[in-house]
Structure 1
Amino acid sequence: MSGESLDPILFQDKGVLTQEERLAVLQSSKKLFIGIPRELFSEENRIALTPSGVKSLVENGHSVVIEKDAGLNSHFTNEMYENAGAEISSNSDEVLSHSVILKISPPSEKELRKIKPNSTIFSALQINTLSAESLEIIQKKKIVACAYDFLKDNENKYPILEVLEEISGLASVFLAAQFLSSDNRGKGMLFGNIYGIPSSKMSIIGTNQAALSAAKHALNLGVSVSIFDKVVSGLRTISTQLSSQIQTGIYNSEMFKSSIKSSDVIVATSNAHNLKDIIISEDLIKQMKPGSVVIDLTLDRGGCVETIELQPKTNPYVKHDVIHYGMYNLPSNYAQTASIGINNVLVPLLMQIGVDGHIEHALRLNDGLRDSVFSYKGLVTNERVARWFKKRYNDIRLLMY
């Protein structure tokens, strides 16, 4: 139950006993056995480690087994991984038998049944698509499940989440510029400061890294940018980072509604976990100028544009004379860039886990890694996951023994 205070506990076959808290003991380095299966989701093109990352891990004494062709969609060949020191396997069961599993999409129920008990998994969470059955298997096998969504660095930031948001924000500007062209039934407008021609207008919803990235690159192209959010502190921060070159406003104000109607491009990046109160209504979309563009980067959380279709026949598509584009996984379209970004976070982390000697010791010593764990030894250790699946929440800090 959320907010309950728990005593440190010791797991035993006969039950759970109260145990005195112990100080972390320095352990000798330990070899990691890492398996990277091929992604099963057809639209997932990324891979967790690049050949360069594999080379660094292997040279430091770790073992990496990669399923055949797992990196092809990121343009990393089997030969590149073999040259880096990885073993290539055509047997997914063998890959999934390793003690540390690296994925992009959450493991499927089929994969989870093959993964050994007490293994460690790193992947995205994607709570909207994670099934209750998958969580039950994770708990039953006492898998340490770490989500990129919650992984923090030493500065208390979310390094993987932020690099993917940065890619999404930049990509949204390129896509908007493309969709505005006459060939795509857009307004026939071009981003840029061209003398005597008014600048294009863009409204951004949210103040996360995707919003910052989109605003920064749009401003560099001469676009007039307005940013809206529910939280004033977020607006203040992003305005400071952009040297006040933007207009800011509160979501759902009259200024917001006016900006939506007059904008050539809308980019929805909202960083809220619950988007029910952050919706661009169909009525507002109807009042936009014909040929304008709406891009929703929040589909993984249900979307925040009322007219965005979750599974359109074509993408982009036109509705109410406005071009719509929404995608669950935009960074996957830029798979090599995204894979390098994920690799750059995971390699130092895995190196440190090896130095610490074991995932258990690493969890004691690394607050950011500990925050990424949503299931530990059969218990749900993330409040959001616990609420979503109506499970009891357990504070992982009190479970370290």
Structure 2
Amino acid sequence: MRVGCPKEIKNHEYRVGLTPGAVREYVAHGHEVLIESAAGAGIGADDSAYIAAGARIVGSAKEIFEKSDMVVKVKEPQPQEWAQLREGQILYTYLHLAPDPEQTNGLLASGVTAIAYETVTDDRGGLPLLAPMSEVAGRLAIQAGATALQKANGGRGILLGGVPGAIPAKVAIIGGGVVGLHAAKMAVGLGADVTIIDRSLPRLRQLDDIFNGRVHTRYSTIGDLEEEVFAADLVIGAVLIPGAAAPKLVSREMLSGMKKGAVIVDVAIDQGGCFETSHATTHSEPTYEVDGIIHYCVANMPGAVPITSAHALNNATLQHGLALADRGLRAIAEDKHLRNGLNVHKGRITNHAVADALGHEVHAPENLLYVA
């Protein structure tokens, strides 16, 4: 198969879909790999590194989309990219379709077979291709929140860990999954007073064991959520419903009960965000203010640390990517976890959560994948 990797074009997105190490694996499997020139510049991998790994360098994204049987990316295709996709081609990347009807319609019109990293599953019920970026985003959320809390950046002017004689900041983390866990690790490490709010009692027990009493855990009722949000200096939105739009757990009305200059970091913004007042921002202009509350809603947070993120992502995506390159649609037909990753195929939506969020009919992938 001919596998292509274009340069990412989203605002301040420095990651790359294929590292030179991943390219070498595809080539070892007998595949031809096309890399757009300078695609790896953001991680310090120049064209010569890709050539040494066995790739062929091409001068434009247009050539990648025209000549590739499978396109491997990091972020969802932008309008000029989905317009170049076609039927019979596999797209392997993050999609986050539930809050994005425009992209969904573009992919449906193209006829492409689109595998979303964020809905590929594993035998333990996890999301193994989403997990590494959730780890990165959770840790970055605390760094970003700590910066936004500085007075010069519009925040309250409080240090997360405090100092002897001055109390630390209060951090409320909504959601105890991968993002929440890693945000809590960073916040605890900096000395903050941390509470994790979740609706799974087994998960709260697990988190209590992990942190050995160093974080508070609360079951998420409306009243308890309000109490923690109102008391917090920094609130991290870390809620995920796989494939679906994030629930709006903090309303605009609730902002009036928060401390002025408090900070919200909405890590769920890729799925539409879990705060009513959230809208996607970029690394160029990461924050905005609503009712005295600073919002940080960057939709590609891990792009800020591309060396870490790109290698972590490639480690996770490589196995399924090789299966797709080796066996094409047969890999999807034979592997339930890749079928769970299939979101769009030949103009039809194949993921229940995406279809429900956008009001489309869902089609079982088993009925669409005819493999001789």
Give the TM bin, normalised by the shorter chain: 0.7 to 0.9
CA RMSD between the two structures: 2.7
Residue number among 52, 70, 95 corresponding to 1:125 in the alignment: 95
Q: What pairs up with 1:132-171 in 2 under 5 angstroms?
A: 132-139=104-111, 143-171=112-140
Distance 1:323 1:391 in 2: 35
Query: Residues 237 and 400 (structure 1 numbering): CA distance in 2 closer, same or farther, change over 3 Å?
Result: farther
Distance 2:346 2:126 in 1: 26
Aligned to 1:20: none
What is the DSSP-based 3-state SS (H/G/I as helix, E as strand, rest coil) of the residue aligned with 2:114?
strand
Distance 2:281 2:79 in 1: 23
Aligned to 2:5: 36
Amino acid at match of 1:281: S
Name the structure with the higher helix share.
Answer: 2
What is the DSSP-based 3-state SS (H/G/I as helix, E as strand, rest coil) of the residue aligned with 2:10?
coil
Q: Which has the higher contact order (CA 8 A, sep 6+)?
A: 1
What is the DSSP-based 3-state SS (H/G/I as helix, E as strand, rest coil) of the residue aligned with 2:302?
helix
Aligned length: 364
Residue number among 165, 186, 190 corresponding to 2:155 in the alignment: 186
2:224 equivalent to 1:255: yes
2:69 equivalent to 1:99: yes
Q: What are the ranges of 5 or more consecutive residues in structure 1 without an aligned counterpart? A: 1-31
Aligned to 2:168: 199
Distance 1:391 1:307 in 2: 26
Deviations 1:273-311 (A, max 9, x none): 3445x3323343233333332212222233222344545
Q: Contact 2:75–2:94 (CA<8 Å) still a contact in 1?
A: yes
Query: Residues 391 and 323 (structure 1 numbering): CA distance in 2 closer, same or farther, change over 3 Å?
Result: closer
Task: Report the structure number with the largest CA radius of gyration.
Answer: 1
Cα distance, 1:102 vs structure 2: 0.6
What is the DSSP-based 3-state SS (H/G/I as helix, E as strand, rest coil) of the residue aligned with 1:93?
helix
Cα distance, 1:173 vs structure 2: 1.0
Query: Residues 352 and 299 (structure 1 numbering): CA distance in 2 closer, same or farther, change over 3 Å?
Result: closer
List 4+ stretches of structure 1 deviating above 6 A: none
Cα distance, 1:116 vs structure 2: 4.6
Deviations 1:201-229 (A, max 9, x none): 11011122111110112112221111123
Q: What pairs up with 1:7-156 in 2 under 5 angstroms?
A: 32-96=1-65, 97-108=67-78, 110-127=80-97, 128-131=99-102, 132-139=104-111, 143-156=112-125
Query: Residues 83 and 102 (structure 1 numbering): CA distance in 2 closer, same or farther, change over 3 Å?
Result: same
Query: Residues 77 and 380 (structure 1 numbering): CA distance in 2 closer, same or farther, change over 3 Å?
Result: same
Aligned to 1:347: 318
Aligned to 2:294: 323
Distance 2:274 2:158 in 1: 25
What is the DSSP-based 3-state SS (H/G/I as helix, E as strand, rest coil) of the residue aligned with 1:214?
helix
Cα distance, 1:70 vs structure 2: 1.8
Cα distance, 1:194 vs structure 2: 4.2
Residue number among 347, 351, 362 corresponding to 1:382 in the alignment: 351
Distance 2:125 2:317 in 1: 16
Aligned to 1:301: 271
Cα distance, 1:176 vs structure 2: 2.0
Q: What are the ranges of 5 or more consecutive residues in structure 2 without an aligned counterpart? A: none
TM-score normalised to structure 2 length: 0.86
Q: Contact 2:171–2:194 (CA<8 Å) still a contact in 1?
A: yes
Distance 1:399 1:306 in 2: 37
Q: What pairs up with 1:220-369 in 2 under 5 angstroms?
A: 220-272=189-241, 273-276=244-247, 278-310=248-280, 314-353=285-324, 357-369=326-338
What is the DSSP-based 3-state SS (H/G/I as helix, E as strand, rest coil) of the residue aligned with 1:160?
coil
TM-score normalised to structure 1 length: 0.81
Cα distance, 1:35 vs structure 2: 0.6
Cα distance, 1:169 vs structure 2: 0.7
Cα distance, 1:63 vs structure 2: 1.4
Distance 2:302 2:214 in 1: 27
Cα distance, 1:120 vs structure 2: 1.3
Amino acid at match of 1:69: A
What is the DSSP-based 3-state SS (H/G/I as helix, E as strand, rest coil) of the residue aligned with 2:118?
coil
Distance 1:400 1:102 in 2: 21
Q: Contact 2:113–2:345 (CA<8 Å) still a contact in 1?
A: yes
Larger CA deviation: 285-294 vs 214-223: 285-294
Aligned to 1:13: none
Aligned to 1:27: none
Query: Residues 315 and 393 (structure 1 numbering): CA distance in 2 closer, same or farther, change over 3 Å?
Result: closer
Distance 1:380 1:190 in 2: 46
What is the DSSP-based 3-state SS (H/G/I as helix, E as strand, rest coil) of the residue aligned with 1:255?
helix
Larger CA deviation: 244-253 vs 308-317: 308-317
Amino acid at match of 1:290: K
Larger CA deviation: 222-231 vs 201-210: 222-231
